[in-house]
Structure 1
Amino acid sequence: MSGNTETLTSSGYIHHHLTNATVGEGFWTWNIDTLIVSSLLGLLFLGIFRMVAKKADTGVPGKLQCFVEMMIEFVDTSVKETFHGRSKLIAPLALTIFVWIFLMNFMDLIPVDFLPVSVQWVGEHVFGADPHHVYSKVVPTTDMNATFAMSLGVFVLMLYYSIAIKGVGGFVKELTLQPFNHWSMIPFNFVLETVTLIAKPISLALRLFGNLYAGELIFILIALLPWYGQWFLSVPWAIFHILIITLQAFIFMMLTIVYLSLASEDH
């Protein structure tokens, strides 16, 4: 722990690291650390891929170009094997989701005190704020607002493809005449299909949030140990967590492709 956090109790230390920097009140509260970090990581993703695309060479590619091409080929293969409709949006969307979520998850591997203490120092020495009241939550995917925002974007696309391909009548029939194709079962079908439809974005958001929040909490708990215990536990957990952050980005991408593929099927 840093000097500023040594005066905090263990519960206070955990609460401080899991509290977002906010502006506004009530419904109009904005988690500015989530917005800033996720936006910067999105710009980083776009900048790197744009730079590689502009400098792409048909000869012997560099390491960065090889890596980007491997990422694109991996995502393109996943889309071709899973998405059964026709859309030029799905592959770029899947690539954006996978890389962007991976970068946001990767922030979990930065030492838990490094960025928050840096922000505290700036708040104290530049703006004259009390460092204990300066918050910085640097993993956007541990903020439920971020995960739900992404899942709601997927949900809107699901509705769009369902209506665009099946039509309004076809979409209504899908909600009312499945799984039991009889007029007497319409109320039951509607409730069942509506719950199933709404559960998709909710589970998508909660799965990503839950896994990353738990991982961040474990890093914070390790940071409460003596320095020799921190190294003994944090290194193995960080190595294992690399699998978690990659897997969660992949799962979010694949479920997005699957949901949009189901929405694009015209029965």
Structure 2
Amino acid sequence: MGVSENTKGLILAMASSAFIGASFILKKKGLKSAAAAGTRAGVGGYTYLLEPLWWAGMITMIVGEVANFVAYVYAPAVLVTPLGALSIIVSAVLAHFLLKERITKMGIVGCLTCIVGSVVIVIHAPQEHSLNSVEEIWVLATQTAFLIYVAVTISLVLVLVLHFEPQYGQTNILVYLGICSLMGSLTVVSIKAIGIAIKLTLEGVSQIAYPQTWFFLTVAIICVVTQLNYLNKHLCFRLWIHSMLQLLPQYIM
């Protein structure tokens, strides 16, 4: 008996989480080295581009994202997306051993909540409705309710980027998290569309000629690049906070 498509998607999504979770640690170690040698990424520095560890983390993340991308081809987004939370568990465990960051009790509770939530959603994930072309995805994506959601999401991202990031980006971690999370919701939709387009094309129903395919690809690239930029700033901000907490006892004494 063959493996179901949902199972394939589940395995790929879990592998993706492992790679992406590990990539955060590698990139943070690279950012730490870069911060010691030059300007921090959080204040506009790009010395991390010269760090091998940062590139190792980037390659690991690419591998994870590719696995995640393929997972969307086989399984519904409602199954694949929640499993991305498992990368948090991988990052927390590796950070404890490799970065010497202590996991607090609330952190443990948060990790357990992620696991329970992911398991519940995976167990009840529905079978995906079969789509025959990118045009069908376009019809779904241009429904009024979804267009309103896109407009609200983009508006919130612009407010965070143009107003809150310059003023509070270096003091409130929620700014970077908000930008990455909001853009991520649009990334999921566009990646799902591209995955289906590739799958149908490989099955003999070419989707290359459809302008919608290239539109979704453009949206995906913009979203991913934006997320990577602010993710680096987010990681650098965490690094700065961690350093300040380590130095705090010296100032108290």
TM-score range, shorter chain: 0.3 to 0.5
* Higher helix proportion: 2
State which structure, 1 or 2, has the greater radius of gyration over its C-alpha atoms.
1
TM-score when scaled to structure 2?
Answer: 0.38
Q: Which has the higher contact order (CA 8 A, sep 6+)?
A: 1
TM-score when scaled to structure 1?
Answer: 0.36
